[in-house]
Amino acid sequence: MLDQILPLYGIQPVKSDIQLFGDGLINHTWKITTESAGYILQKVNQSVFKKPQDIDQNITLLNAFLKDKHPEYLFVTPLCGRSGKSLMETPAGFFRLFPFVENSHSLNVLNRKEEAYEAAKQFGKFSMLLNDFDVTQLHITLSDFHNLSLRYEQFLSAVQKASEERKTKSSALISFINEHKNLVEIYNGIVHNKEIPLRVIHHDTKINNVLFDPQNKGICVIDLDTVMPGYFISDVGDMMRTYLSAANEEETDLNKINVRIDFFKAIYDGYMEEMGSVLTETEKKYFVYAGKFIIYMQAIRFLADYLQNDIYYGEKYPEHNFNRAANQIQLLRKYIEIEDNLVKLLH
Ligand code: ADP
Ligand code: GN1
Ligand code: MG
């Protein structure tokens, strides 16, 4: 298949080394190495992103703004092929090619709080530099992506339609989610609060969407598919979800899941160094809630997927999404256990 795609960019497949790359759950990603350069080739997952053109247009708009106002900022955008287009529509699907950021790597778990600081700073910087960008210009690439209210409704419907076997296995997790429905109500309050504006939000700040240099200093953010108008709690929350625990969402030994309070502080410091002067006082009050919001939503998403026979995330082994949901619920429990300490830390 790639034999047909690479020539669209003037790359000869015979002379290049092609490897499947990364641990993303959504798109197909390959690293292409030629004698002169490295690239990241991606096939957009069209069952998730119905209109890849919208993503492409968003990136083009943001790039024009950033190149004009902040030309020194590294914003990694798709390269144009021979046709002059940055998104290739082919019979095999939609493809795009990025320059490989040399001497970079991504991490799946963080071992040092300094890395949490670096990553949080990168995501904070992204929203801060785009603070004056007119967010209404952006397409919504995934509607209701972080609409917790709707996610909760979809979860209830997944419970209704699930097989008895999967429902029974999930009963303790389902109860936990229902017992914490107040998190949905807080979200509904945020949506109606005029002091909490829509901003340019990345919406997928998990740790492997930041590139680090060999010294583990942050280089830039990547994976721009879900950049669209949203609330800051989405970005801060997904950082907490993926940076706080020493074990990540794939861990099946729940005893290994923890909340590292010094990593929480590092997220706060890194993000606020960039966004502290931009966020409203009302937004700042939801900093700790952000973690509960996203961890809870991710638990709902994994469990709903399990109940619907893994149609969204797929599974690498039986019960994979059940395990991921149990993992996220354990993380939420641990987070709530020390919530008071987190609040105190910020005052
Ligand atoms: P997905 O949407 O499937 O998560 P990503 O865009 O995050 O796909 O890419 C998957 C992985 O590929 C990233 O976690 C990162 O390791 C690597 N990657 C993506 N873009 C680049 C790039 N421009 N340079 C170097 N590595 C990259
Ligand atoms: C997906 O694409 P990736 O792997 O960075 C998902 C996120 C989830 C995450 C869970 C478009 O992110 O929302 O938080 O998996 N992206 C989409 O690991 O659904
Ligand atoms: Mg990714």
| pLDDT beyond 90 at 83 | yes
Q: Is residue 232 within 6 Å of ligand 1 at its C-beta? A: no
Q: What is the CATH number of domain 2-99?
A: 3.30.200.20
Q: Is 144 left (phi over 0), alpha (psi -120 to 50) or beta?
A: left
Contact between 227 and 200 under an 8 Å Cβ cutoff? The reply is: yes
Q: Is the CB of 101 under 6 A from ligand 1?
A: yes
Cα–ligand 2 centroid distance for 4 (angstroms): 28
Rounded CA separation 170/175 (Å):
9
Q: How high is the pLDDT of residue 259?
A: 98
CA distances 226 to 79, 307, 310, 347, Å, are: 19, 25, 21, 32
Q: Do domains 2-99 and 113-345 have the same CATH topology?
A: no
Residue 292: predicted pLDDT: 98
Query: Which residues are CB-neighbours of 9 under 8 A, at least 6 positions away?
Result: 39, 79, 81, 82, 97
Pocket test for ligand 1, best of 18, 25, 40 (most atoms within 8 A of CB): 40
Q: Which atom of ligand 2 is nearest to the CA of 313?
A: 15
Write out pLDDT tens, residues 152-207.
999 999 999 999 999 999 999 999 999 999 999 999 999 999 999 999 999 999 99
Give me the residue spans of the domains in the chain.
Answer: 2-99, 113-345
Which of 15-19, 34-38, 208-212, 239-243 comes out lowest in average pLDDT?
A: 15-19
| 19: number of Cβ within 10 Å | 9
Q: What is the CA(119)–ligand 2 centre distance, in A? A: 17
SS3 string of the chain? CHHHHHHHHCCCHHHCEEEECCCCCCCEEEEEECCCCEEEEEECCCCCCCCHHHHHHHHHHHHHHHHHHCCCCCCCCCCCCCCCCCCEEECCEEEEEEECCCCCECCCCCCCHHHHHHHHHHHHHHHHHCCCCCHHHCCCCCCCCCCHHHHHHHHHHHHHHCCHHHHHHCHHHHHHHHHCCHHHHHHHHHHCCCCCCCEEECCCCCHHHEEECCCCCEEEECCCCCCEEECHHHHHHHHHHHHCCCCCCCCCCHHHCCCCHHHHHHHHHHHHHHHCCCCCHHHHCCHHHHHHHHHHHHHHHHHHHHHCCCCCCCCCCCCHHHHHHHHHHHHHHHHHHCHHHHHHHCC
Of 46, 41, 49, 320, whose CA–CA distance to 203 is shortest? 49
Mean pLDDT of 290-300: 98
HSE, side-chain direction, 13 A CA sphere, residue 116: 27
Q: Using CA positions, which residue lies closest to atom 2 of ligand 2?
A: 26
Give residue 166 CA to ligand 2 midpoint distance, Å.
23
Residue among 49, 123, 151, 204 whose CB has most ligand 2 atoms within 8 A, to mutate: 204
> CATH homologous superfamily of domain 113-345?
Aminoglycoside phosphotransferase (APH), C-terminal lobe (3.90.1200.10)
Q: Is 207 exposed, middle or buried (0-12, 13-18, 19+ CB in 10 A)?
A: buried
Distance 32 CA to ligand 1 centre (A): 12
Q: How far is Cα 305 from Cα 316, in angstroms, rounded to an integer?
A: 13
Nearest-CA residue for atom 7 of ligand 2? 204
Cα(160)–Cα(145) distance, rounded to whole angstroms? 22
Task: Return the percentage of the chain with pLDDT > 90, whole number.
Answer: 96
**What average pLDDT does this structure show over 115-132?**
98
Nearest CA residue ID for atom 7, ligand 1: 223
pTM, full prediction: 0.95
Mean pLDDT throughout 248-275? 98
Mean pLDDT of 84-112: 95
Q: Output the pLDDT for position 23.
A: 85
* Ligand 2 site, CB within 6 A: 24-26, 48, 204, 206, 209, 223, 226, 249, 298
pLDDT at 347 over 80: no
Beta bridge partner(s), residue 40: 31, 98
Is the Cα dihedral 150, 193, 122, 77 positive or negative?
A: positive
pLDDT at 101 over 90: yes
